[in-house]
Structure 1
Amino acid sequence: MNLTRYDTATINKFSVDSQTGFLHVSNVPIARVGVFPYIGKSGQITMEAKLPDDLLTDSAVESANSKPVTDDHPQESVNVTNTNRYMKGLTANNAHVDGDKLKVDMTITDSALIKEIQGGKQELSIGFQTDVVPVKGTFKGMAYDSAQKNIQINHVAVVKRGRAGHSVRLTGDSAEMVIDDSQEKGTSMETTKIRLDGADVTVATTDAERILKLDADNKANNSKIAKLDAQIKALTAERDKLKGGADANKKSLDEAQAKADSLEKELAAEKKKFEGDALDQAIADRMALIDEVKPYVGDSFDFKGKSPKEMKLEAISKTDSVDLSAKSDDYIDAYFDSIKNRNNSGVVGYTGIETNVKTDSVDNKPAKDRYHLA
């Protein structure tokens, strides 16, 4: 945002040319780097920084050369269309940097203004254009809200008193930045002291009430900020707590997913057992086992849904009346094989082999009857 600013300094030493009567001021500081208060027309105070990289550049320094000197600040920028009305003198062409200050010589040519200066009107206030960039920071321990960039001096005004009174006027060989703009020609301003943050500060009397209100509002805002900060800390702690619970839940979910993945792989392995030829072989093995078990358990036994182990245990139970369910699969398999090798007369439902030989009526060859199961 490009704005017009007015900063004040005091005429330090001056001399009058004996031939022309012009008043000449040498090596006057008109600006320095630092952080300074500005009061807008709305009464709001902002702290703006003139940083070395902005004020002490070649462009800003050269802008102080050969610029109009005016009696108070005009209501507009000085240019070729209004110099007859506003210009009362001219700065020299020797603007330069001295430490952290910008200095220049100047000559006053207007007799009325010379008399006012000799009578005590000795403060200088530069009028300049600048881009005020809203960027926060600190310079030499002073906090600022904005920084002035692209500083270009338009004129140097001779004024009675800076907008904020003598507490911020330039004294000796230093330069002090002051306050805003709308200074009326010939207007004097009364000052008063108010207490801000435990210190006495001199301000314009007309601004005192507004500044105190702003200070009170600022303290109220700081209180609100502190409360909000406490709420944010509480919410942050609650968030961290919830995050911890979420991390624990995620661990449980990960463990459950790992188990599910393991079971899925196990299921896939089981499915492979019943694919293609493996399925045919599994069916053949089961039918063969049923044929082996049936003589021991009888035709009434329901084989549906029974595992090979369950069928063998049932056969063993029917044969020896023992419960081997707690034994290993290898033990059960061996025991079942042993009962198969026993005398077939002990098999449930087995009636033995008929030995009577029949003669086939056709070829007279003997034939044995098949086994008969109950």
Structure 2
Amino acid sequence: MLFTDKIALDGTRRTGDGYLVADAKVARTGIQIYHGREVGKPEMDQVRVFRPEAEVFSDKALASFAHRPVTNDHPAEAVGARNWRQHSVGMTGGDIARDGEFVRVPMTVMDQAAIDAVEAGKRELSMGYACDLDFTAGTTPAGEAYDAIQKNIRGNHLAIVAAGRAGPQCRIGDSWAAIPPPMETPMKTLMVDGITVEMSDTAVQVVGKVLQQLNDAKATVDAQDKKITDLTTAVSTKDGEIAVLKKQVEDGKMTPQQIDAAVVARSAVIADAKAITGAEVTADGKTDSDIRRAAVDAKLGDAAKGMDDAAIAGAFKALRASVGDADTDPVRRLSIDGLKQVGDARQQANDAFSKSVTDLNAWRKEG
């Protein structure tokens, strides 16, 4: 993990070439305060990071502060050979030493714009370095509580900045600006499922969006439920209608007697129409009313136009009466006598069969 630490720059001097040189306190032991987001713990407002002497002043840590590039503000990335030309405005020296609780490093600023910035008041330093961060809480030998420990500290670059983290002693030396107190997040009140909840403005927006999605989903489900209810009701209604229609069909079925009567009545209409027109009658697909109207139209022509069914029936009856009897017509005879003749013929056949049986039995007795 890459860290930065700020220290102030004091005791500078210019060389004959115009460079600015100084001895800088660039690191210190003890506890430094970081925002949680700086150390990968955004859920924490502040993180107390402990740097033990054993880590800060280890041989490898001290050696890593030598011959590091000096930058004007921290770059957004670690400095190396690939981007040194882009970021470097100077260099640290190789005579690294412990100075109390600090690490002192000689430095040279070679870029004129950076030198001008320092002389205009930009006089704090911030050491950029990598380390391992062990989030094991504990207490320092001095009794200070901490949340994490830095281990394997390795310097990367030394930045000239406007404010530092390592304390006022660190001015092109090593300055450490106190971390500002956490800003109070303005809270808003939101009603969630009948419960009043206080939350940040961002949280209100997020929760509000989720609640709206839930409401929309519920509305969709309610609409589907209503549609299902409506369809169920419609099906039940149709079932009732079907039951009624079935009953009507059952009730409307014709008995054999009714069928016989209907056949006789229709045959009579056909026979009467034939008697009126003197021609064969085509009855297929026609009702009795159609047959009567055709016969009346054939006889009366335009005079029949505009007649309703009742008038047609009257005209048909009058025309039939005017042509006389037609008992010789078997169809007419059938329409008058009905199906009785069929029954009479069957009875005659039965009588004849019975008589033959009687005669046969009589012959047997004689023999």
TM-score normalized by structure 2?
0.46
TM-score normalized by structure 1?
0.45
Whichever of the two has the greater Rg, that structure is 2
Which structure's residues are more often helix, by fraction? 2
